[in-house]
Structure 1
Amino acid sequence: MEELDKRISEIVRSTVKEFMESLLKGEIQAFIEQNNRQRNGYYERDIGTRYGKIDDLRVPRDRDNEFQTALFDRYQRNVGIDGLVVSMYSKGISTRKMAEILEELFHNKYSKSTISRITDITVPEIQKWLTRPLEKRYIAIFMDAMFFSLRRDTVQKECVIFAMGIRESGNYEILGFYMNPVENHIAYRNVLMGLHERGVEEPLLFIADGLPGIEEEIKQLYPRADFQLWTVHASRNFESHVRVQERNDIDSGLKSVFLSRSREEALDQFNMLKDKWSLKYPKPVYNMEKNLSILLKYYEYPGSIRRSKHSTNLIERMNKEIRRRIKIIDSLPTEESAMKIIYLRVAEINERWSLRTLR
């Protein structure tokens, strides 16, 4: 046990060292750019952290020897900033606010540009994650878009499309996220092509909104895959076209349709809903009936995986968590800053989901 503890401590110290050296690289780069200086290699030093002493930490320097990291003073022996900057960024704290917090903590000014440069250490990691190989076969792939405010000269709403998969093992996984100024079938085509290029060959089912052209895009690349509409989105759309006082009654009827034990029972429940509401609300009833075969596609699959296929709970919770992070910042200054926040949150969620399987 003593040997195991020692080995774990070594691994943690190695990780902290790598992280601190990444922060130092971000700092020196910002310093060089802001002060028109030139780099002059590194020197090595030891420093204590809460995880133990780190040997041979590579600290960058400039030719005039003026660069001083805000992580620690020149002769300081211990430091406690491990993970602070990236952790704050992942929680949606703006670079301006982080600069204020770090100045308060360390009495040494971190500018907005320095914070931005430090968080740039995630950029190569994002690209590596977005292009990582995927499995050949997935039980289902969910696709959904979230909108946020982004500055491109002016501030406008733009979308990020998430793709979430269920592996054959039953584990959930966020496969990727894709930035696009608008949500249309071409944006989803790019998502599908990205998944295909990364190794996805045999998805059984795609779940997405009824955006014009999206089913055709799926069939073009995956002709054998089934397509299903989000049932929760269809229910909300139906309910948005009825009077407020009748929504609870209609919502109960829709749940009876989509939570039925069989397709036959679901059709019976829909016919009851239709008989009750078609005279009062003919258009939403007609639209749902027109799409009913695509909405009930999940009944062609085993009962053990039906609930996950018609429910949006997981992906909607994910959207809610990411939106909460972004909401703290009025509008994101660049697409890259949006990607950094989204990636850091997605990485956390994926780690949690790696332990979750179909029930």
Structure 2
Amino acid sequence: MSSSINKSDFTNQLEEIIKSFIQERLEIIMKAELDNYLKVERPNHPNSKNGYYKRSLDTRYGKIEELSVPRDRRGEFQTQLFAPYQRRDGWLEETIIKMYQSGMSTREVGKFIERILGSSYSATTISNITEVAMEDIQAWQQRELHPRYSVLYLDGMYIKLRRDTVANEVIYFAIGVTVEGYRELLGFYIGGQESALGWQEMLQDLYQRGLKEVLLGVFDGLPGLEEAFKSLYPKADVQRCVVHKVRHTLNRVRKKDREEVAEDLKAIYRSFTHSQAEEQFY
């Protein structure tokens, strides 16, 4: 039915939202990069800003079609975020996400900025860009949320994060749908393996930032997650994703009939109204 959530559809929506988030942060860093190139790196060299040009950039979350890259009038500035013709480098977007998780110090963010930009700039430029990034990080993490969301999606996505070694870690994402129907990335938390405790910490953060009422929570059947959600939003309804519903149903079906039943279930869950779904039973 229209309120049922298809897992692949949600994953696509999640990746689009993450991609937009990454694009905005890359553009903030590049703007600060050009500012410091003109004022710190080449202060006595006649030059100025000259708008932006658009380019695409492949990420693990899909292609950013129109990334705004700042330029100078003399054509001498080249962002160090990526090579001129580079189209795919997974560590860049993962580093951006890592910078915006809770608990990152200015020193840690500075190390990330230095890693992203390499050794092309002076310590002053790195420090100035770090300050700009920290202002945006703090504003994003502390921004007040709407008090009421129609739907709150909770999902985990594993990515490789480079520390001393490369290891898979889960990112907990919270996506809210406003009463007007707009989707927002409310927050994310990186840490260890997926667990109810991780979700509880994220839910507490959302609640403290102003999210006091949810009409519908949509998430997988992780043990303890529904209890953590209900402890903060006791009046909300809860819906598990369609994939888990289908799997639970197919476990009760004979193996030889599962493929046919699965196709019938797709028609039910893709219905737009209750009456359309009922018709699929006949």
2:160 match: 149
Q: Which shows bigger deviation, 217-226 or 238-247?
A: 238-247
Tell me the equivalent position of 1:194. Answer: 205
Name the amino acid aligned to 1:210: G
Is the partner of 1:50 in helix, strand or coil? strand
* CA apart distance, 1:22: 4.8
Deviation at 1:112, TM superposition (A): 3.3
How far the C-alpha of 1:234 sits from its partner, in A, is 3.7
Please give the per-residue CA displacement for 1:228-277, whole angstroms capped at 9, x wherever unaligned: 111134436767999998665233122133234328955984xx9xxxxx
Per-residue CA deviation, residues 323-356 of structure 1 (Å, 9 max, x unaligned), is: xxxxxxxxxxxxxxxxxxxxxxxxxxxxxxxxxx
**Structure 2 counterpart of 1:81, from 77, 80, 83:** 77
- Paired with 1:238 and 1:144, the residues of 2 have a C-alpha distance of 22
| CA 1:208–1:77: 2 relative to 1, 3 Å | closer
SS in 2 for 1:256: helix
**Counterpart of 1:178?**
189
Contact 2:267 2:277 in 1 (8 A): no
| 2: CA distance, partners of 1:130 / 1:91 | 28
Distance 1:257 1:163, change over 3 A: same
Q: In structure 2, give the amino acid aligned to 1:81.
A: F
Give the TM-score, by structure 1 length: 0.46
Amino acid at match of 1:20: L
Q: Which amino acid in the other structure matches residue 50 of structure 2?
A: R
Q: Flag the 1:90–1:205 CA change in 2: closer, same or farther, 3 A.
A: farther
CA distance in 1, matches of 2:90, 2:215: 39
Q: Which has the higher helix share?
A: 1
**Quick one: which amino acid aligns to residue 268 of structure 2?**
V
8 Å CA contact retained: 1:258, 1:266: no
Cα distance change, pair 43–82 in 1 and its aligned pair in 2 (3 A)? closer
Q: Indicate if the aligned counterparts of 1:144 and 1:161 stay in contact, CA closer than 8 A.
A: yes
Whether the aligned pair in 1 keeps the contact of 2:150 and 2:179 (CA below 8 Å) is yes
Partner of 1:339: none
Instruction: Indicate conservation of the 8 Å contact 2:154/2:172, yes or no.
Output: yes
CA distance in 2, matches of 1:83, 1:17: 9
Structure 1 match to 2:47: 47
- Structure 2 length-normalised TM: 0.56
How far apart, in 1, do the equivalents of 2:202 and 2:216 lie? 15
Please list, as runs of the form range in 1=range in 2, the aligned pairs for 1:265-276 lying within 5 A after superposition.
Answer: 265=277, 269=281
Q: For residue 226 of structure 2, what is the aligned residue in structure 1?
A: 215
Whether 1:20 aligns to 2:34 is yes
Query: Structure 1 pair 22/160, CA: closer, same or farther in 2 (3 Å)?
Result: farther
**CA offsets 1:266-296 (integer angstroms, 9 cap, x no match):** 5984xx9xxxxxxxxxxxxxxxxxxxxxxxx
The structure whose Rg is larger is: 1
Aligned position for 1:252: 263
The change in CA–CA distance for 1:222 and 1:83 in structure 2 (over 3 A counts) is farther
* Aligned residue in 2 for 1:127: 138
Distance 1:17 1:194, change over 3 A: closer
CA contact (8 A) 2:250 2:258 kept: yes
Q: Is the contact made by 2:81 and 2:117 (CA closer than 8 Å) also made in structure 1?
A: no
> Whose strand proportion is higher, 1 or 2?
2
Cα deviation per residue 1:21-77 (whole Å; 9 max; x = unaligned)? Answer: 35679x98xxxxxxxxxxxxx95664134339xxxxxxxxxxxxxxxxxxx9xxx97
Q: Secondary structure at the match of 2:267?
A: helix
Equivalences for residues 343-358 of structure 1 within 5 A:
none
Q: Is the 8 A contact 1:239 1:247 kept in 2?
A: yes
The match for 1:112 among 101, 104, 118 is 118
- Inter-CA distance 138–17: structure 2 relative to 1 (3 Å threshold): closer
Unpaired stretches in structure 1, ≥5 consecutive residues: 1-14, 29-41, 53-71, 96-109, 273-359
Please give the alpha-carbon distance, in whole angstroms, between the structure 2 residues aligned to 1:248 and 1:206.
29
TM-aligned CA deviation for residue 125 of structure 1: 1.9
Aligned residues: 207
Q: CA deviation at 1:90?
A: 10
Gap runs ≥5 in structure 2: 1-28, 53-70, 93-115
| Contact 1:235 1:251 (C-alpha < 8 Å) held by counterparts | yes
Root mean square deviation of aligned Cα = 4.6
